[in-house]
Amino acid sequence: MSTMSNPEEADTLAPELPAMFDGMKLAAVATILYVVIRCLNLKSRTEPPQVTCQDTVLSRYLLKSCPLLTKEYVPPLLWGKSGHLQTALYGKMGRINTPTPRGVRKFLPMPDGATATFDLFEALREHRTGGDVTMVICPGIGNHSEHKYIRTFVDHSQRQGYRCAVLNHLGALPNLELTAPRLFTYGCTWEFAAMVDSVKQAYPLTLLVVVGFSLGGNVVCKFLGENPSNQNRVICCISVCQGYSALRAQETFLQWDQCRRVYNFILADNMKKLILSHRSSFLTSSSSIGEVELSRLFAATSLMQIDDAIMRKFHGYSSVKDYYEEESCVQYIHNVSVPLLLVNSCDDPLVHPSLLEIPHSLAEKKPNVMFILTQHGGHMGFFEGAMLLPHPLTWMDKVIVECVNALCWWEEERPACENQQKDLRTSDVSLTPGLRVIESNLIEDIKLNSAFRI
């Protein structure tokens, strides 16, 4: 039997084959473009930050004095709308054209034998208010003053007239041995408190601006809420990209959506390396960590497993649940009475959207709290730029300093503002257009005074 095809049928199919292949190519290109657009989130629109706060004289003043709070945050067009790429580039690159500010390292002995360290950077110019203002800064998990995002922020702040003190998390500095078998933990404020006390003693007239990044945001908010005296001489507190509740955050870290489980594994691996780099310090008679705990560490694939095996034992917590509950700032943040700015990003892959209900609710209830939520920025990214290359300074660097500048002027004029608010509260007049004019005039007076002093 012949297997030869009919010549007429072959002639009929031949013209159709190129068209079929062209269709497959177009389909493949369309699929690739669709995936790229979805992955890079290119269809997402740039928007101004969503600001949640009560309607107060202070909030109106901040919104008028800080243009970055009301104008669009525009990330680099080709990749900046992807929270994953923003986060990954921050993690790998930190910042571009990173400056190298020069500071002095300070060593502080702790009551338990540990040695806290922080780096002190003097201002590069006089502060615009003519006063002495120090930023006390707490970095993210396992970070220190030598990380690029810290160096960039410190350099920018120095040039605006701020002295900067940056905590080096206990055990995070390379080539610096522990003097006690203990590392930093999620919410331990001992080292940060020691740094703040040291700054206050060295500079009796300085006012403080408290800044915390990621895990550092939890530490500083917990520190201020633990004891009212910790808020003495504090102008304001700014927290960036923290999760507020460790217990709820760790539960979301076990989920696969937004690749959160992958980030969990990467962070856990970094923590594992940090702990093992101090292995000899833990295998001592005074340590609560032994070979059993270290053997559990090798098998750990999540932060929760590491916290259960190692971290909670530094402070004697009986369970990881107790550790998370006691060391989360959500238990203390409502006690903070100084102006408190909480900054997060919608596309932060490390902070689940459900966690953002905490700052949102707090800002609705407390007149001193402002919650600033950007559409883009990832975790600690907030890069700006036109198409591809980001700018050296990020939106985060600029907005923190801009808000702090405004709050420093507010602190200068606070007695007059408080008297004005008191008069308004004791008045029987409701919120009328006339009252709004009074508030507007007060704000303009502050801005006018600021202009003259500059």
**C-alpha atoms less than 13 angstroms from C-alpha of 12 in its C-beta half-sphere:** 5
CB atoms within 10 A of CB 389: 11
Compute the Cα dihedral for 351, 354, 358, 360 and give only its sign.
positive
Residue that is written with structure tokens 């009986």 in the block: 318
Beta carbons within 8 Å of 116's beta carbon, 6+ residues apart: 107, 108, 109, 110, 167, 168, 170, 190, 191, 194, 195
Give 238's strand partners. 211, 341
Residue that is written with structure tokens 């404020």 in the block: 189
Q: Which two tokens stand for residue 3?
A: 């297997």
Q: Give the H/E segment covering residue 136.
A: strand 133-138
Q: Order of strands, edge to edge, in the sheet holding 207-213?
A: 50-52, 369-374, 340-345, 234-240, 207-213, 133-138, 163-168, 115-121, 104-109
Residues tagged active-site: 214, 348, 379
CB 128 within 8 A of CB 453: yes
Backbone angles phi, psi at 380, to 5 degrees: 70, 20
Residue that is written with structure tokens 């605006």 in the block: 160
Q: Give the H/E segment covering residue 308.
A: helix 303-309
| Strand ranges inside 48-88, DSSP E | 50-52
Beta pairing, strands 234-240 & 340-345: parallel
* CA nearest neighbour of 218 among 188, 261, 248, 184: 188
